[in-house]
Amino acid sequence: MATRRITTYKIQQMKRRGVSIPMVTAYDYTAARIIDAAGLPMILVGDSMGHVVLGYDSTIPVTVDDIVNASAAVVRGTTKPLIVADMPFLSYQIDAETALRNAARLIQEGGAQAVKLEGGKSVAPIIRRLTEAGLAVMGHIGLTPQHVNRLGGYRVQGKTETTANEVLEDALSLQEAGAFSVVLELIPAELAKKITKVLDIPTIGIGAGVHCDGQVQVFHDMLGLDPDFRPRHSGEYATLAPIIKDALVRYGQDVGAGTFPTDAQSFFSDESRVMPPIRNALEPDN
C-alpha cells in the first residue's frame, strides 16, 4: 500500500499556521529511518553529499546518478517525510528540457516528491517549465554552493543594500515561477526576516537566522560526525565522531584480545544456546 507522505501543500499550510518546519539532509537508508522515527516533516537529499559522503571539496562533481541512488535509499527508509532531491551542478542550467529530463529521473527513479535547484531570477524560467510540467520545486538563493568558483568562496550574501535587494528580487521571482518553497542560505538574519514576511511560500533557512519559516541542517554537521568541520551555522545536537571512534577502538582491542565475539554473538549446533531476538531500538520500550 502507498505510504501517506507529507505533501508540499502541508508544508505550505505549516507556514500559514505559523508552525515552523524542521528539515535535515539524508543520503542513505539507515539515517533516513532514524529521521523518519524522529518525525521530521521534510528531508533534503542534498548535493552536500559531495562533501560529507563522497569526500569532494565542493558539490560540483556530484552527479544525477549520485542523487538518484541516494534518494531511492532515503525513500526506502522513510514513510512520512516529504523527500526533496537536489539537482546537481549543470543538471538544469543548460536548457529547460535537460532540466526536465534530469528532474524526472530524480522523481521517477529516485522516488522524491520534489526537486531543489540553486539560483535566482536566471533560473526562474527553468522553474516555470518544471512546475508547468507538474513537478514541485524548491528554490535556493543567497549562498549557492554550486557557484562557489564564481563567488570566490563560501561567503555570506546580501550584506549591502544593493545585494540584499537582489536577493529579495530573486526570492520573489522564484515564487512567481511556481516554487513551493525556498532555501535561504547564509544571508543576514534581517534580510531573511524581510523575505519571509514578503513571501507567501515558506522560507527554509541555513545560516539565515531564526525568522525563517523553517530550518535545514546538514545531518553530518549537526551531529558532529566530522571532528575537523563544524560550520558556524550548524547546530550542535550531538558530537558523534569521538563516540564512534571510541567504539571502533574498543572493537579493535576486543578482537585483538580475543574477547569478541562471545557466545552471545556466536552460533552453535545446540539450539538452546541461540541468542534472544534483536530489539528494534527505534521503537519505544513497552
Report, as residue numbers or ranges, the catalytic residues: 185
Scanning 4-12, 46-54, 235-243, 263-271 for contacts with ligand KIV by CB under 6 A, the matching segment is 46-54
Rounded to the nearest 10 degrees, how much is the dihedral formed by the CA atoms of 218, 219, 220, 225? 140
Beta strands 114-116 and 136-142 are parallel
Q: CB 195 → ligand KIV: shortest distance, Å?
A: 15
| 30 contacts: CB under 8 Å, gap ≥ 6 | 77
| 45 contacts: CB under 8 Å, gap ≥ 6 | 25, 26, 27, 67, 70, 71, 74, 83, 84, 85, 86, 110, 112
x/- map, 63-92, ligand KIV, by CB under 6 A: -----------------------x------
Exactly one of 106, 112, 218, 223 binds ligand KIV (CB under 6 A); that residue is 218
Exactly one of 84, 171, 183, 191 binds ligand KIV (CB under 6 A); that residue is 183
Confirm or reject binding of residue 216 to ligand KIV (CB under 6 A): yes
Exactly one of 72, 186, 206, 212 binds ligand KIV (CB under 6 A); that residue is 206
Report the SS3 class of residue 82.
Answer: strand
Point out the residue whose Cβ comes nearest to ligand KIV.
Answer: 46
Confirm or reject binding of residue 46 to ligand KIV (CB under 6 A): yes
CA–CA dist 124, 114 (Å, integer) = 16
Task: Provide the strand spans (E) within 124-267.
Answer: 136-142, 181-185, 203-206, 214-217
Confirm or reject binding of residue 48 to ligand KIV (CB under 6 A): yes
Residues in the site for ligand KIV, rule: CB under 6 A? 25, 44, 46-48, 86, 140, 183, 185, 206, 216, 218
